[in-house]
Amino acid sequence: MDTQKNQPDSRTALLHAARDLIFTRSFEHVGTAEICERAGVRKGSLYHFFSSKEDLVLAMLDALMDDFEGAVLVPSLEGPNCIRERIDAFVQAIHAFEAAVHRESGYLPGCPFGNLIVEAGTYNPGLRQAVKRHLDRVAGHFQRCLQEGIDRGELPAHTDALALAELWLALMEGILVMAKVDQDPATILRLGPALHVLIGVSGPHTTSEDPPEGAAGGNT
């Protein structure tokens, strides 16, 4: 009975340990023995739950995506607020998410999905496909937010929500890289307003009839 009760806790501990170690160092330079030591479990426990280190990392990415969705994407991008307010809430939420990691670990990791794809994406198709799936999921939240802005007349009717969501994702990744370079969560707040310009809500009186010059969807 006690073993059964401890099994989910051991699995969770392994996921947290892998997340802490890999995101502050790298996928290749963290071994299973070190993960088990950090988690406080025997090495055999890892292979009870996961078939390999890659399997553990894939599960860790799933858990991280769920955390990011619940802490950042859903609270900031869903609800009755206008699109400009949602963007501001998103920037604040992603800043808080990264700042919390920075406080706990002493490192600002940037985007863990981006980190893994840069490190292992060219030779590990399993990780690459997993990262793509999660980034597509993030972009899906952006696309839904943008489409609601189009439907409510906050963005031009001819705006391509999918294409603009991909640009939003690319800009977000770039901001997180800059924050990682600086090792300072405040970089996210400093650069976050670039999203206003990208999406076309950089002025307080923006309307769908008069989009800012350069806004996505502004040319037909």
pLDDT tens for residues 49-96? 999 888 999 999 999 999 999 999 999 999 999 999 999 999 999 999
pTM, full prediction = 0.83
Name residue, tokens 């739950």: 49
pLDDT for res 203: 57
200 pLDDT more than 70: yes
**Do 50 and 14 contact (CB within 8 A), yes or no?**
yes
Going by pLDDT thresholds of 50, 70 and 90, the confidence category of residue 110 is confident
Contacts of residue 118, defined as CB under 8 A and 6 or more positions apart, other chains included, come to: none
Q: Does residue 79 come out as left (phi exceeding 0), alpha (psi in the -120 to 50 range) or beta?
A: left
Q: How many CA atoms lie within 13 A of 210 on its CB side?
A: 6
Instruction: Identify the band that residue 133 occupies on the pLDDT scale cut at 50, 70 and 90.
Output: very high
Q: What is the mean pLDDT of the chain?
A: 86
Contacts of 81 (CB under 8 A, 6+ apart): 89
pLDDT of res. 8: 58
CATH fold for the domain made of 53-201: Tetracycline Repressor; domain 2 (1.10.357)
Indicate the helix (H) or strand (E) that contains 15: helix 2-24
pLDDT in tens, 22-35: 887 778 888 899 99
